[in-house]
């Protein structure tokens, strides 16, 4: 069906280049993206000064499209996305492209982190029609929101094997004016097919060990035995997989996870100077990352290192977890208690906040910068040997050549090898290593700071609460539990409307964003349960139950089991139900953990039964690819016991 859909849509795109002159749309004397300045999302606000007449997602934009009979251009991205910034500079600040958009389309900007529901349904379309996805995501849709063309990054003019925005906009504008019925038909067919693909299959009647067994085999088949991780580049940490493998009890699976964690900790994906994990690696060896630092990665990857420490009692794993959490406290923590979303991949290339921004300039080193920080003697040579830095730059595996001449620090030599190479005893080597690292840190902190996305996302704070509670107990450090407690209080005070029973997705500077989604309820409930387990304070248990009851009331699929992302009254053309884990965990996986824990703690068979039904649906939905839902199948053995007798049928 995917191939048929792709051919059908591509057949509608004939080669026709027609540049349509346009004038700035004016509303109340204002032009361009001024509406976005009124939004809470930092990503949307970045585009407020674009000449593109942006609208935020909402009825106002679609009403305008219907009234003027124009297609909709939907641009989806996020604050820390490097290529989102590139497209903003190249296309959305380009008067020629803005004129085409303003004349022929209604343009909508979406923050995928604030609206994961919008992002998910259009990503399903882009993946189905092109076989790949990513951000920025660019989708063209009818005034009803039905997509008829989509992709990711497009340059302003043809290049990099991609058509240019000028070419695409001119072609689509002409097609819409000449044959709108063809586009409408194509979009309706696409929506019908995606609804069919997304429909629930019949749940499994019973759970067997076939699912985790097959998952282990799939992980082993895709495992990179040399560098760790799974599959080709780009490589993501995928903490859900690591947590499953670590808790599997199978030596081969545990070894895969431990090897991956060790390789990540030694690579450039891990910030060797300040701690924290970057979003993903562009190469097989974890050395050249894309430099975003996301809150969800810090929380979930730290949890994987904590799980490794619990299993091995190896202080290396505890040390990495501690560094990630301490980085998060230092750079992502809001003074009032919550955690901010992310640090950007891009930062200012100069000595101040003027001039252009480039990816990774805060984190990388030219040979000249290294010499300025350490001199041209033994200290520089030590840093070069320790972190694999060269005069030519070590980022040779950067696929697009953006890191030319730069060095990404990674652990090229350990302390013993360094001591031997520089003919020092271990104590002297350790002292020198600490001194070099401190001088590099001081030099780096003189650079303009990396921009911060300071919105607070409920689900990701739920992740962090769970991890901090776990860290406080495992590492015997009460300070982490104190932070988890303060974070939980902040989220419940600022993002939960107890009167109406509504949990909000995001918050910024005292302003709530949009109502939450199923993962917000599930992740926060899990975090509160984590706090109950380490403190014994019953209010956390009661709050977790309250959120779980709302999760069941709003998102539960009574027919097939499992949880939808959105309520029944969703404004979208597809009510999505996700079981797969990626960089973040699926709401259904988190819900299974939360419901099983609530059922065990309170003896509530309804919670346990709903967890079983969720697993039965997910196991059927992903029967051929159970490796896609590793976090859920961590609890598979418990689930195999079946639902309580009064929940059967």
In 3D space, the residue among 80, 77, 157, 144 whose CA is nearest the CA of residue 115 turns out to be 77
- Confidence label for 21 from pLDDT (cuts 50, 70 and 90): very low
Three-state SS at 629? coil
Shared-domain flag, residues 442 and 533: no
Helix (H, G, I), strand (E, B) or coil at 48: coil
State residue 14's pLDDT score.
31
Asked if the model's pLDDT at residue 12 lies above 50, the reply is no
> 423: Cβ–Cβ under 8 A, 6 or more apart, which residues?
none
> Which of these ranges, 26-35, 95-104, 149-158, 460-469, has the smallest mean pLDDT?
26-35
What confidence tier does 10 reach under pLDDT thresholds 50, 70, 90?
very low
Is residue 16's pLDDT more than 50? no
**Distance (Å, rounded) from C-alpha 234 to C-alpha 583?**
13
Q: Which long-range contacts (CB under 8 A, 24 or more apart) does 191-198 make?
A: 191/146, 191/147, 191/573, 191/574, 193/1, 193/4, 193/5, 193/128, 194/121, 194/124, 194/125, 194/128, 194/574, 195/573, 195/574, 196/1, 197/1, 197/124, 197/128, 198/124, 198/574, 198/576, 198/577
436 shares its domain with 368: yes
Mean pLDDT on 194-218: 90
Does residue 168 sit in helix, strand or coil? helix
One domain for residues 524 and 584: yes
Contacts of 49 (CB under 8 A, 6+ apart): 32, 33
Dump pLDDT digits (tens) for 359-416.
999 999 999 999 999 999 999 999 999 999 999 999 876 656 677 889 999 999 998 9
* Residue 213 token pair: 């067994």
| 87 has a pLDDT exceeding 70 | yes
Task: Give the containing element (helix H, strand E) for 323.
Answer: helix 315-331
**Average pLDDT over the chain, rounded to whole?**
91
The pLDDT tens digits of the residues spanning 260-314 come to 999 999 999 999 999 999 999 999 999 999 999 999 999 999 999 999 999 999 9
Token pair listed for 645: 């007798």
**Last residue within a domain, chosen from 198, 215, 231:** 198
Residue 233 lies in a domain: no
Q: What is the mean pLDDT of residues 521-543?
A: 97
Whether residue 303 lies inside any domain: the answer is no
Does residue 7 surpass a pLDDT of 50? no
State pTM to two decimals.
0.92
User: Within this chain, do residues 81 and 24 fall inside the same structural domain, yes or no?
Assistant: yes
Cα separations in angstroms, 343 against 83, 320, 599? 15, 19, 38
543 and 412 in one domain?
A: no
**Where in 124-188 does DSSP place strands (E)?**
137-141, 147-151
Give the confidence band of 197 by pLDDT, cuts at 50, 70, 90. Answer: confident
Q: Mean pLDDT check: name the lowest of 18-32, 177-191, 247-261.
A: 18-32
Q: Residue 399: what pLDDT?
A: 59
pLDDT-based confidence at 31, cuts 50/70/90?
confident
CA distances (Å), origin 257, targets 220, 263, 279, 625, 633: 11, 10, 18, 19, 16
Asked if pLDDT for residue 5 goes beyond 60, the answer is no
Calculate mean pLDDT across residues 173-202.
90
Phi, psi torsion values for 273, nearest 5 degrees: -100, -45
pLDDT of amino acid 353 = 66
Same domain, yes or no: 587 and 438 = no
Same-domain status, 513 and 610: yes
Q: What is the CATH number of the domain that holds 518?
A: 1.50.10.20
Numbers of helices and strands, H then E, in the chain: 25, 17
Instruction: Give a yes or no: residue 205 inside a domain.
Output: no
For position 24, what pLDDT does the model report?
37
Domain boundary pick from 198, 215, 230: 198
In a domain, 332, yes or no: no
> Which CATH number characterizes residue 35's domain?
3.40.30.10
Last residue of a domain, one of 130, 163, 198: 198
pLDDT of residue 11: 36
| Number of structural domains in the chain | 3
C-alpha distance across the termini of the chain, in Å:
33
Once rounded to an integer, what is the mean pLDDT over residues 80-85? 90
Q: Are residues 44 and 133 in the same domain?
A: yes
Mean pLDDT, residues 61-81 taken together = 96
DSSP 524-542: HHHHHHHHHHHH--HHHHH
What confidence score (pLDDT) does residue 573 get? Answer: 87
Give the Cα separation of 238 and 583 in Å (integer).
5
Q: Are residues 545 and 436 in the same domain?
A: no
Average pLDDT, integer, range 466-477: 98
Q: Is residue 555 part of a domain?
A: yes
Q: What are the tens digits of pLDDT across the range 620-630?
A: 999 899 999 99
Question: What is the rounded distance in angstroms from the CA atom of residue 464 to the CA atom of residue 469?
Answer: 8
Distances (CA, A) of 579 to 239, 382, 502: 15, 47, 24
Q: Is residue 153 part of a domain?
A: yes
3 state SS for 210-276: HHHHHHHHHHHHHECCCCCCECCCCECCCHHHHHHHHCCCCHHHHHHHHHHHHHHHHCCCECCCCCC
Give the DSSP letter of residue 397. T
Enumerate the H helices of 112-158 as residue ranges: 116-130
253 within some domain = no
- Residue 598: its pLDDT value, please? 96
**pLDDT single digits (tens) 419-464:** 999 999 999 999 999 999 999 999 999 999 999 999 999 999 999 9
Domain that holds residue 366: 348-450
Residue 553 tokens read as 């009331």
318 pLDDT exceeds 90?
yes
Taking only the tens place, the pLDDT of each residue in 487-511 is: 999 999 999 998 888 999 999 999 9
pLDDT above 90 coverage of the chain, percent: 81
Do 91 and 191 lie in one domain? The reply is yes
- Check whether residue 507 and residue 360 sit in a common domain: no
Query: Would 428 be classed as within a structural domain?
Result: yes
Partners of 140 in the β-ladder: 73, 149
Question: Quick one: what percent of the chain has pLDDT higher than 70?
Answer: 93
Question: Which is more confident, 643 or 325?
Answer: 325
pLDDT at residue 352 greater than cutoff 80: no
The answer to whether residues 42 and 141 belong to one domain is yes
Say if residue 67 is exposed, middle or buried (CB neighbours under 10 Å; 0-12, 13-18, 19+).
Answer: exposed
């Amino acid at each position: 069906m995917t191939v048929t859909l792709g051919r059908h849509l591509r057949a509608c795109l004939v080669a026709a280049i027609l540049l349509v002159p346009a004038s700035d749309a004016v509303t109340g004397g204002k032009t361009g993206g001024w509406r976005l300045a009124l939004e809470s999302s930092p990503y949307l606000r970045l585009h407020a000064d674009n000449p593109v007449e942006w609208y935020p997602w909402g009825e106002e934009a679609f009403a305008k499209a219907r009234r003027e009979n124009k297609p909709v251009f939907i641009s989806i991205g996020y604050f820390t996305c490097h290529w989102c910034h590139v497209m903003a500079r190249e296309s959305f600040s380009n008067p020629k492209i803005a004129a085409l958009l303003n004349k022929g389309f209604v343009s909508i900007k979406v923050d995928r982190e604030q609206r994961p529901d919008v992002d998910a349904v259009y990503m399903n379309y882009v993946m189905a029609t092109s076989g790949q996805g990513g951000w920025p995501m660019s989708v063209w849709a009818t005034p009803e929101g039905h997509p008829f063309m989509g992709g990711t990054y497009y340059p302003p003019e043809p290049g990099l094997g991609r058509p240019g925005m000028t070419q695409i906009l001119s072609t689509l504008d002409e097609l819409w004016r000449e044959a709108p019925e063809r586009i409408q038909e194509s979009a309706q067919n696409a929506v019908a097919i995606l609804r069919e693909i997304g429909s629930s299959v019949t749940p499994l009647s019973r759970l067997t060990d076939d699912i985790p067994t097959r998952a282990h085999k799939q992980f082993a088949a895709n495992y990179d035995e040399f560098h760790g991780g799974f599959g080709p580049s780009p490589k993501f940490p995928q903490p859900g997989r690591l947590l499953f493998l670590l808790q599997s009890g199978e030596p081969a699976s545990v070894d895969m996870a431990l090897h991956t964690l060790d390789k990540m900790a030694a690579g450039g994906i891990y910030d060797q100077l300040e701690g924290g994990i970057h979003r993903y690696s562009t190469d097989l060896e974890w050395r050249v990352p894309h430099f975003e630092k996301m809150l969800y990665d810090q929380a979930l990857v730290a949890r994987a290192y904590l799980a490794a420490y619990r299993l091995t009692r190896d202080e290396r794993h505890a040390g990495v977890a501690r560094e990630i959490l301490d980085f998060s406290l230092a750079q992502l923590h809001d003074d009032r208690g919550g955690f901010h979303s992310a640090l950007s991949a891009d930062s200012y290339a100069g000595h101040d906040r003027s001039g252009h921004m480039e990816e990774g300039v805060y984190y990388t080193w030219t040979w000249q910068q290294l010499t300025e920080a350490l001199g041209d003697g033994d200290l520089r040579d030590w840093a070069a040997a320790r972190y694999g830095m060269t005069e030519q730059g070590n980022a040779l595996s950067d696929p697009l050549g953006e890191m030319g001449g730069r060095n990404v620090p990674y652990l090229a030599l350990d302390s013993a090898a360094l001591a031997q190479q520089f003919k020092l005893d271990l104590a002297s080597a350790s002292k020198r290593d600490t001194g070099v690292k401190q001088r590099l840190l001081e030099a780096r902190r003189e650079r303009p700071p990396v921009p911060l996305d300071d919105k607070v996302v409920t689900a990701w704070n739920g992740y962090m609460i769970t991890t901090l509670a776990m860290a406080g107990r495992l590492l015997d450090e009460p300070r982490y539990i104190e932070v988890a407690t303060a974070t939980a209080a902040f989220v419940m005070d600022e993002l939960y409307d107890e009167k109406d029973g509504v949990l909000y997705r995001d918050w910024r500077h005292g302003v709530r964003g949009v109502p939450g989604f199923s993962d917000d309820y599930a992740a926060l409930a899990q975090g509160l349960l984590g706090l109950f387990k380490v403190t014994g304070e019953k209010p956390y248990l009661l709050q977790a139950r309250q959120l779980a009851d709302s999760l069941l009331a709003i998102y539960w699929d009574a027919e097939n089991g499992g949880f939808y992302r959105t309520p029944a009254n969703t404004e979208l053309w597809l009510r999505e139900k996700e079981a797969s884990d990626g960089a973040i965990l699926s709401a259904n996986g988190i819900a299974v953990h939360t419901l099983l824990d609530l059922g065990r703690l309170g003896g509530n068979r309804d919670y346990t039964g709903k967890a079983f039904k969720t697993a039965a649906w997910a196991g059927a939905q992903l029967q051929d690819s159970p490796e896609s839902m590793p976090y859920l199948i961590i609890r598979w053995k418990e689930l195999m016991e079946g639902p309580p007798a009064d929940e059967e049928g």
